[in-house]
Amino acid sequence: MSSLCKLNRWFRLSVASVLFVAHLLPTYACTRVVYLGEQQHVITARSMDWKSDIGTNLWIFPRGMKRSGEAGPNSIQWQSKYGSIIASGYDIATTDGMNEKGLVANVLWLVESSYPIYDGSTPGLSISAWSQYVLDNYATVQEAVEALAQQPFTLVTDKLPGEDRLATLHLSLSDASGDSAIIEYIDGKQVIHHDRSYQVMTNSPTFEQQLALNTYWAQIGGLNMLPGTNRAADRFARASFYVNAIPKTDNPVDALASALSIIRNVSVPYGVSTPDQPNISSTRWRTLADHKNQLYFFESALAPNVFWVDLKQIDFSEKTGQVKKLTLGPNQANIYAGEVSHAFQRSEPFHFLGLAQE
């Protein structure tokens, strides 16, 4: 058997093994895609898929907010350098958002995540504030990656509200230059994947295995066949093909339409029931972050239209900026239209979920 044939056989067996493992793993269906258009027109789109309402609201956070890692006496402390708009989870965590410098952070489920054992000897950061820490402190992906590589904190997880399981998440970052990074914790160690080409992130398996699966589908060619299920690996393949197949443009309307069509394509129908895979969850909302124009779009599965926030209309200053909240209602069914920065109401900031007190 030739070396090339052996290599091809090894590759097919490796991909088959990954596909088998991916099929067995529970699936939590969220997707993140970065569109790279002309003239530095970058858009990050994500879907939030969950089995029940996570009580999402939109929040405006100004500069100068004093934060705690909420991990006990040795929690990391910081003051926000940059203002941001974020989408909350249960109003105890930041799940998604963009800061005033155009850095976007998204957290998605990754069941394979395994975090360090925390003994309190190092500064701790609750996983609920992981993405907010990045938005508060960094302007670019490069800056964030360099800082996080120094491990300024130990990431600490805890049980989800009302559930007997730990939050297991990975973090994606993208910025106005189109740079991207994926940060995971595997076997208790931080793993950073940093490259402009890392435009797509879904859920299981780990990002390294997702890349192997995508190589397999790239060989087949998206015009010939694409996987069509709601499993994370299949959504990764579809999003990866479409994000590079759509036209690259500097027209903001066309670019937003293209990015939105991709994230809708990899969304899960609302109310879907799959008894053989009960962990596939419906898409509850989608966001799009236009890095260049500083626009943050929100679309609920239960609302008839997309609305947006223009970050240029927000006072993020430390002296006069205010914490504000846009209440989206149960299942994010409240209806808004157009640019809604004026509709936010002054509010006390929510408290990030920290370690349970014994």
CA distances from 213 to 114, 242, 300 (A): 22, 16, 30
189-194, strands of its sheet edge to edge = 189-194, 180-186, 169-174, 104-109, 93-99, 84-89, 58-61, 324-326, 345-346
Given 30, 156, 183, 353, which residue is catalytic? 30
C-alpha to C-alpha distance for 321 and 318, rounded to whole angstroms: 6
Beta carbons of 227 and 217 less than 8 angstroms apart: yes
Annotation says 30 is catalytic: yes
Beta carbons of 258 and 35 less than 8 angstroms apart: yes
Which residues are known catalytic residues? 30
